[in-house]
Amino acid sequence: MANYCLPSPAKINLLLHIIGCKKNGYHKLQTVTQFINYSDTINITVTKNNIISLSSNTNKIISQNNLVVKAVKLLKYFCLKNKCINKYFGIHIKLNKVIPIGSGLGGASSNVATILLILNKIWHCNLTLPDLAKIGLLLGADVPLFIYGHTAIVEGIGEINTPISLKEKWYIIIIPPIEISTAKIFSYINTNNYSVIKTHTELLSSKYYNDFESIVVKKFPIIKKYILWLSQYVPARLTGTGSCIFAECDNQNIAYSILFNKPSEVKGFVTKSKNISPLHSVLKNKKIFSY
């Protein structure tokens, strides 16, 4: 049986704007998203029992409704329907979660993208990155970003992806002791939270901010507490629609000195942003997985 082990990296939203709502209820966004050197790990074992199974270091995600399992089933269905593979093999997935659930760091979407990218090669589906991105979008708005694997301006409901390169910087990430549901946060949105759509030049040259931050701190005052704490040292803001707070630091030493002083009840880490997803960096070094 073949075994594979690959990273499933996190991301931060350097900015995140709500710019409207489609007729189907999905909100349109503009965001600049960059990867960070902080990852879950996914181990895949190819079996011949035609069974999809999942295990993890946390029981919070073990379910047939888990997005990773849905991703495997969706890719299998798509490939069989389009006769992309001649034979289907079973898969056992072992997911080691490091990225906190409900954190805004994109863990679930990253896991889905990693699975799609790996199985596309293992099963010889021969799908392109745009093909995989379309499948991934059915499971989450952030999935195409992780499929393409490059810092990007992401727009619409996640389907418009414009790769860019930004300076790779050091960040401190604070993990408050709370999980925040993306679906719940989206339910609180109204037109007062909307931003005016901007050109890419305007986005990158304007002050970065997250439209969801005002919603989150209102509904979860504990988040405001930690934003204020971190802002004593460096300007801090929310990433995504989750609970994690991040701040740019001039260097690694400054980031660690701030982390050393964090409140005891919160977790945190220091990391560096990456223009190329750590997953894609590994894939390029594995001949069988080259894209």
Enter the tokens of residue 94. Answer: 């072992």
Give me the residue spans of the domains in the chain.
3-165+278-289, 170-274
The CA distance from 55 to 43, in Å, is 10
pLDDT at 287: 61
The CA distance from 81 to 99, in Å, is 34
Contact 122, 3 (CB under 8 A): no
Contact 132, 117 (CB under 8 A): yes
Q: Roughly what angle, to the nearest 10 degrees, separates helices 221-231 and 212-219?
A: 120
User: To which CATH superfamily is domain 170-274 assigned?
Assistant: GHMP kinase, C-terminal domain (3.30.70.890)
Least confident of 74-83, 139-148, 213-222: 74-83
pLDDT at 25: 77
Q: pLDDT tens digits for 41-77?
A: 999 998 888 888 888 888 776 665 689 999 998 998 8
Which of the four pLDDT bands, split at 50, 70 and 90, describes residue 79?
A: confident
The CA distance from 145 to 162, in Å, is 9
Classify residue 199 as left (phi > 0), alpha (psi -120 to 50) or beta. beta
According to CATH, the topology of domain 3-165+278-289 is Ribosomal Protein S5; domain 2 (3.30.230)
pTM listed for this prediction: 0.94
Q: Which residues contact 284 (CB under 8 A, 6 or more apart)?
A: 290, 291
pLDDT at 86: 54
Catalytic residues: 11, 142
